[in-house]
Every structure is written in structure tokens, then in C-alpha cells.
């Protein structure tokens, strides 16, 4: 299937409030000074026509007003999405993820940029210790 020139594949996102609430209430969480990462094992949905997206990792971002104004919040959200997708080798494909930015995340994004957020997310993903792809289990 060909895409128009310049078009990129849209990454699957958590967008419904019920999805966020399920991850918050029943998922595992780890926190750092500026971020909280939640992960929830996703049940397989076989009734969807979209078979490609049903097995893909879904990711959501929550950045509240405490982080800053609209410009700062949108910049933090964009950088968090980019940092998360850059760490796809550390992400379990059988989970939904939500990152909540805490007060001060805008300062981290401003001073350290993408690399500092990526390092923070990588540390949180390591602390989660989730099941990854079964084919990777023997590769240590």
C-alpha cells in the first residue's frame, strides 16, 4: 500500500478516557522526579478489522497545567512521544503505556531537550521489568 509523498504512518495512541483510566487504575507504575510511567497489559482483541494496529503498542501522554502554559505543554508532549517511540526496543508490544509529566518537566525539556527525556523514559522502562517479546527472552 503506497502512501502519498511526505505522509508518515500514524502511531497508535491512547485517546479515550476509559483507556487512560484503565491504565491508571490497574496498571503498574514507576516514577522519577519529572515523569510517571504507567503500563498495563493489554488483552488481545480479535474482533477488530485493523489487525496491524491491534498488536501495536499504544501510548498516551498526560501533561497538566502545572507543567506550564499551552506552548510548554505541547512541546513536552511532542518530545515525550518522540522519546518514547525512539525506545521501541525497550517497549513490550503487549502493553499500553501512559506517561504523566510532573511539574518541572518543561524545564527538563527546555534545558536537556529530547535526550534528557529519552534517558529518563529509558530508566523508567528498565525499572518496570515487563515481559518483552518472547523471542528476546534467551538473548542476554
Structure confidence by residue, pLDDT tens digits, 55-91? 688 899 999 999 999 999 999 999 999 999 999 888 8
Q: Which residues contact 29 (CB under 8 A, 6 or more apart)?
A: 36, 37, 38, 39
pLDDT score at 88: 86
Res. 105: pLDDT tops 80: yes
Q: What is the pTM of this model?
A: 0.77
Structure confidence by residue, pLDDT tens digits, 13-40? 787 888 888 888 998 999 999 999 999 9
Q: What percent of the chain has pLDDT over 70?
A: 76
Nearest to 122 by CA among 96, 95, 99: 99
Calpha distance 91→84 (Å, rounded): 9
Amino acid at each position: 500500500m503506497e502512501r502519498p509523498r511526505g505522509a508518515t504512518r500514524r502511531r497508535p495512541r491512547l485517546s479515550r478516557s476509559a483507556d487512560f483510566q484503565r491504565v491508571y487504575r490497574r496498571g503498574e507504575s514507576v516514577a522519577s522526579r519529572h515523569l510517571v510511567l504507567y503500563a498495563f497489559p493489554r488483552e488481545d482483541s480479535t474482533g477488530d478489522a485493523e489487525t496491524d494496529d491491534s498488536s501495536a503498542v499504544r501510548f498516551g501522554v498526560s501533561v497538566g497545567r502545572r507543567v506550564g502554559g499551552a506552548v510548554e505543554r505541547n512541546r513536552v508532549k511532542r518530545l515525550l512521544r518522540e522519546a518514547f517511540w525512539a525506545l521501541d526496543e525497550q517497549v513490550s508490544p503487549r502493553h499500553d503505556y501512559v506517561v504523566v509529566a510532573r511539574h518541572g518537566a518543561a524545564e527538563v525539556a527546555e534545558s536537556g531537550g529530547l535526550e534528557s527525556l529519552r534517558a529518563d523514559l529509558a530508566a523508567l522502562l528498565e525499572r518496570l521489568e515487563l515481559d518483552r517479546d518472547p523471542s528476546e527472552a534467551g538473548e542476554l
